[in-house]
């Protein structure tokens, strides 16, 4: 008897709070589960707000090939070569104006931005520690190249809603991610789900052939869209009702737990193999 077809063809994976443990490591159990999925012919695709330089160690740990969606959908990278194959940028003048509006509304905000060349820019007052990757300091009012995304960090961002943040920009940029005192801003129309839908369409993969894992509101659209949408136990409990399944937390290897179970259901027993 041949192996039953696996229940899906692509795994869409958020990283922080989902695939990664709280110490930002990839556990041995998770490595094994992703490898098992690959043995079944299933592709694992990162769908993350991280920039490309910040996924390289995870790509290496899992031995992945293919493509990765980064910067909240603003960039598509071929992995492991880390070649940028598609970009959706915020033009320099728009980035400068968006940064000005953030500072006007939130004077304590610390601003950074990510360029297509994988370098990260930081305002002079942005505190250590910095993110993974090559970086430089510059006044945001002097940004002179297109950026994949801007981000701002401020305690006040914990106190105001996403709609209030969006109102600052009059549609010049979209809020990709707003959580725990951080906001990420991308070009209008850019999002995780738009990038994921486009990638799947290019492979002839339908939504019901996708299982998606996430832990935050920025993942909600792809959780709803996928044939099987999974929120982690550590996600906001209000999001759990939106998922087909709630996995154990990221620190309990929830992604691995779900994949192991689903793949076991589609792997024949030794008796079945010998019939």
- Taking the chain (275 residues) in runs of 10, the rounded mean pLDDT of each run is 70 98 97 97 97 96 97 98 97 98 97 97 95 96 98 96 96 94 97 98 97 96 98 97 98 98 73 37
Is the peptide bond between 129 and the residue preceding it cis, with omega within 30 degrees of 0? yes
Q: How many CB atoms lie within 10 A of CB 61?
A: 16
Q: Which two tokens stand for residue 17?
A: 């709070």
User: Would you put residue 73 in left (φ > 0), alpha (ψ -120 to 50) or beta?
Assistant: left
pLDDT at 274: 34
Is this prediction's pTM over 0.85?
A: yes
pLDDT at 41: 95
């Amino acid at each position: 008897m041949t192996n039953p077809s696996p229940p899906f063809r692509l795994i869409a994976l958020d990283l922080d709070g989902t695939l990664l443990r709280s110490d930002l490591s990839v556990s041995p159990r998770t490595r094994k589960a992703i490898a098992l999925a690959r043995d079944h012919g299933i592709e694992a695709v990162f769908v993350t707000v991280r920039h490309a330089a910040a996924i390289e160690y995870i790509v290496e740990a899992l031995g992945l090939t293919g493509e990765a969606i980064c910067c909240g959908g603003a960039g598509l990278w071929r992995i492991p070569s880390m070649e940028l194959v598609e970009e959706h940028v915020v033009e320099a003048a728009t980035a400068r104006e968006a940064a000005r509006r953030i500072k006007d509304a939130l004077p304590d905000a610390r601003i950074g931005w990510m360029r297509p060349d994988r370098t990260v820019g930081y305002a002079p007052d942005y505190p250590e520690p910095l993110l993974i990757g090559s970086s430089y300091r510059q006044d945001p009012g002097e940004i002179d190249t297109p950026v994949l995304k801007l981000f701002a960090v401020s305690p006040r961002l914990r106190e105001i809603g996403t709609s209030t943040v969006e109102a600052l920009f009059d549609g010049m940029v979209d809020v990709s991610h707003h959580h725990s005192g951080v906001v990420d801003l991308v070009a209008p129309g850019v999002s995780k789900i738009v990038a994921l839908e486009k990638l799947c369409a290019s492979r002839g993969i339908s939504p019901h052939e996708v299982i998606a894992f996430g832990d935050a509101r920025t993942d909600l659209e792809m959780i709803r869209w996928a044939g099987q949408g999974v929120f982690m136990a550590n996600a906001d409990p209000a999001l759990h009702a939106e998922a087909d399944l709630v996995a154990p937390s990221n620190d309990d290897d929830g992604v691995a737990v779900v994949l192991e179970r689903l793949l076991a259901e589609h792997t024949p027993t030794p008796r079945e193999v010998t019939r």
